[in-house]
């Protein structure tokens, strides 16, 4: 059976002066989630938003909030983002030495847990955590900014994650984030990704609903 593909527009590419309208636009696009990039200026060389903005978005929509933490010490911020309305909290494997505790605590707080990997990080290092993950996220650009070029070496990692998922009879989503459009999205799907995040592509199209559907069908 063909796997259902999920799509999440990244709010990083939205017009922040009209955030409410942009969130409503995402809701109307029939996307599966809204992807919220949280950056601390240390783990990545950029700053974005904190729990207060996430809470404001949560008041605007009933959509599934996919919170992507690009911050050091993610453990310390879990409660704040759960209170703000996160449905999924993904943190970076490279950002903490307490990967297991962080996953456990996210789940204890009643939301889904995702583990993210930078382009140069080997996925095989994380096999022991996979049973606990609801999602693995492969960065297909160096994190920090939207609009960057897709790094094709991610494709092999997606394939490995897909094979491991099958071999271990696990259920985690395989999400890809960075430089996703119809061409790169299709390549990721062929390798086994079932969850695509896109900022520049989806916000750059006049008809976001059509663009989301195109991404699901590419």
**Sites of contact with ligand DX5 (CB under 6 A):** 10, 12-13, 35, 37, 68, 141, 143-144, 146-148, 177-180, 197-201
Q: How far is the CB of 2 from Zn ion (least distance, A)?
A: 26
In angstroms, the CA 54 to CA 52 distance is: 5
> Is 40 an interacting residue with respect to Zn ion (CB under 5 A)?
no
Dihedral, CA of residue 61, residue 63, residue 64 and residue 70, to nearest 10: -50
**Interacting partner of 146 out of Zn ion, ligand DX5, none (Cβ under 5 to 8 A depending on kind):** ligand DX5
101 is catalytic: no
In 6-42, which positions are buried (b, 16+ CB within 10 angstroms) versus exposed (e)? bbbbbbbbbeeeebeebbebbeebebbbbbbbbbbee
Rounded CA-CA distance 48/36 in Å is 9
| Catalytic entry in 21, 32, 37, 134 | 37
- The least CB distance from residue 137 to ligand DX5, in Å, is 9
Q: 9 is in the binding site of which of ligand DX5, Zn ion, none (Cβ under 5 to 8 A by kind)?
A: none
Site string for Zn ion, 54-93 (x = CB under 5 A): --------------x-------------------------
Sequence-distant (6+) residues with CB within 8 A of 140 are: 119, 150, 151, 154, 176, 177, 178, 179, 180, 184, 188
Identity of the residue, 22 or 177, whose beta carbon is nearer to Zn ion in the bound complex = 177
Residue-by-residue DSSP string for 59-74: HH--S-EEEEEESS-G
3-state class of 93 per DSSP? Answer: helix
Residue in 98, 101, 177, 207 annotated catalytic: 177
Residues of span 19-38 touching Zn ion by CB under 5 A = 37
CB-wise, 38 or 103, nearer to Zn ion? Answer: 38
Q: Is 87 a catalytic residue?
A: no
Nearest distance in Å: CB 9, Zn ion = 11
Partner whose binding site includes residue 13, from Zn ion, ligand DX5, none (CB under 5 to 8 Å by kind): ligand DX5
Cα–Cα distance, 35 to 165 (Å, whole number): 23
Catalytic residues: 37, 177
């Amino acid at each position: 059976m063909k796997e259902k593909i999920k799509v999440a527009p990244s709010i990083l590419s939205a017009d922040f002066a009209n955030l409410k309208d942009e969130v409503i636009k995402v809701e109307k696009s029939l996307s599966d989630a809204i992807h919220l990039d949280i950056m601390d200026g240390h783990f990545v060389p950029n700053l974005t938003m904190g729990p207060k903005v996430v809470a404001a978005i949560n008041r605007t929509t009933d959509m599934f909030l996919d919170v992507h933490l690009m911050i050091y010490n993610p453990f310390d911020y879990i409660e704040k983002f759960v209170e703000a309305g996160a449905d999924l909290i993904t943190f970076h494997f490279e950002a903490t030495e307490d990967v297991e505790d962080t996953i456990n605590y996210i789940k204890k707080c009643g939301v889904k847990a995702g583990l993210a990997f930078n382009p140069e990080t080997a996925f095989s290092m994380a096999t022991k955590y996979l049973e606990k993950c609801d999602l693995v996220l492969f960065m297909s650009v160096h994190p920090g900014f939207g609009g960057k070029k897709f790094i094709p070496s991610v494709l092999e990692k997606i394939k490995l994650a897909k094979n491991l998922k099958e071999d271990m009879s696990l259920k985690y989503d395989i999400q890809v984030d960075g430089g996703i459009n119809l061409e790169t999205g299709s390549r990721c799907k062929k390798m086994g990704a079932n969850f695509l995040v896109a900022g520049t592509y989806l916000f750059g199209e006049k008809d976001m609903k059509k663009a989301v559907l195109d991404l699901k069908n590419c």
